[in-house]
Structure 1
Amino acid sequence: MNNSQQRGTTEKSQVRRSELIATGRKLFADTSYDALSMDDIAKHAGVAKGLIYYYFKSKRGYYLAIVEDSVADLVARAASDTELPRADRVHRTMEGYLLYAQHHQAAYRTIVTGGVGFDTQVQAIRDAVREELIATLAEGAYGRRDIPVLARLALLGWMGCVESVTLEWLGTLEPERATVRDLLVRMLRRTMDTIGEFEPACPSPPPGA
């Protein structure tokens, strides 16, 4: 097989894998993890069961791939728009975060709650995305990702509030998304003001920033 053929085979494999993950997102949106067998998944995907094992090794591996794909979307949204002023970037990030949660509710719930009881690997993926979001916020606010422990704890607390508020909001989608966004942004501002009071190395952003 020449290089061109190898590239074509690799690209086809990547496309097929992405298609299977997209199918999995839809399936797990309506049905619990335990209620879906590999036979069910293969039937809905329109492929042989062996193909899913080929790409993901097991049902658990398939599920974890879906979770990882979902969190990659969230992290990408948070890290985008770096050219915007800080205040605009925070608003854009929170708008994107809530928009993602609204239109990918099953994936979002999986990311935040773990999805399959207490699964240490899912919990590790969730923790990793939290850390990345906090680091992104710190970089935008303080110009660096490595911040003092107290500042990190405060931002982690705010992140927990964001998740709880978002989960509750998804139950009714009231009030409007823009109102929830502004609420969370103001909570972040108050959190940063408090961080500045306790940690001189992380001063509160100036008004309007």
Structure 2
Amino acid sequence: MARLTAEERRKQLIGIGLRQLTERPIHELSLDEIGAEAGISRGLLFHYFPSKRDYYTAVVQAAANRLVRQTEPDPAAPPAEQLAQTLEAYLAFVERRRVPYLALFRGAAGGADYVIDIYERTRAVFVDRARRTLGDPGDPRDPRVDLLLHGWFGFVEDTVLAWTATPSIPREELLDILRDSLPALIGGLASVDPS
């Protein structure tokens, strides 16, 4: 059997961690089990990741990258279609990985700062995508727009998590509600006097 390069070994170890996330939260991953599955000792694992935290951070970042990659809309699609594509892909992602999503992002791994940081950066990707689909929502520096975009994604996330636990309405109706809520929120700014 050919020896793995350092990069291949790192990818293997991260992949094992991602698989184990489907069964337990990040802080419960056993480095001994991960090393054994990879055919290396726990000590050798630290050759590829200087600390347990570095390993956990790499696994969480890989999970976040997967979410971002799998929900990327077609940049050539019209803005409304990009929003629909992102929402459809996000819903599909959470449907397939609800438990690890909850354990990783919503649980923030017991408040670990590295998980919170990755979660916030991942959330910012979705906020930026939503901002792009609005066309021209007014002054891009308007703090009200930014606040509503963050709140909208929180609404999307909570609604998707509730629906994937108990699908109480048809899937297409859920997607319509999520999609239509963004322009409704932003449109409401026009009637609010900022002074």
Q: Provide the C-alpha distance between the structure 2 equivalents of 1:16 and 1:142, rounded to a whole number of angstroms.
A: 44
Give the fraction of aligned pairs with identical amino acids, expressed as a percent: 27
One-letter code of the match for 2:131?
A: A
2:98 matches 1:98: no
**Other structure's SS at 2:187 match:** helix
Q: Note the C-alpha offset of 1:43.
A: 2.1
Distance 2:117 2:177 in 1: 28
Cα contact 1:21–1:65 (8 A) shared by 2: yes
The verdict on how the C-alpha distance between 1:169 and 1:22 changes in structure 2, with shifts beyond 3 A counting, is: farther
Give how far 1:187 is off: 1.5
- Count of matched residue positions in the alignment of Structure 1 and Structure 2: 191
- CA shift, 1:96, in A, is 0.7
Gaps of 5+ in 1: 1-8, 201-209
Letter in 1 for 2:98: Q
Q: Give 1:114 shift.
A: 4.0
Q: Does the 8 A contact of 2:26 with 2:103 survive in 1? A: no
Match of 2:56 among 63, 88, 94: 63
Single out whichever of 107-116 and 91-100 deviates more from structure 2. 107-116
1:186 alignment counterpart? 180
Letter of the 2:19 partner, please give it.
Answer: K
Unmatched 5+ stretches in structure 2: none
Match of residue 22 from structure 1: 15
Work out whether residues 134 and 155 of structure 1, in 8 Å CA contact, stay in contact via their aligned partners in 2. yes
Match of residue 108 from structure 1: 101
Q: Give the letter for the 2:49 counterpart.
A: F
- Where 2:134 maps in the other structure, the secondary structure is helix
| Cα shift at 1:182 | 1.9
> Structure 1 segments of 4 or more deviating over 4 A?
143-146
Instruction: Assess, with a 3 A threshold, how the Cα gap between structure 1 residues 143 and 44 changes in structure 2: closer, same or farther.
Output: farther
Aligned to 2:32: 39
Which among 171, 177, 189 is matched to residue 195 of structure 1?
189
- Per-residue deviation, residues 101-154 of structure 1 (Å, max 9, x unmatched): 122234422453144211112111111111221112212313699542100101
| Correspondences of 1:1-209 after superposition (within 5 Å) | 12-142=5-135, 146-198=140-192
TM norm structure 2: 0.83
Supply the distance in 1 between the matched residues of 2:171 and 2:7 (Cα, whole angstroms). Answer: 35
Alignment RMSD: 2.8
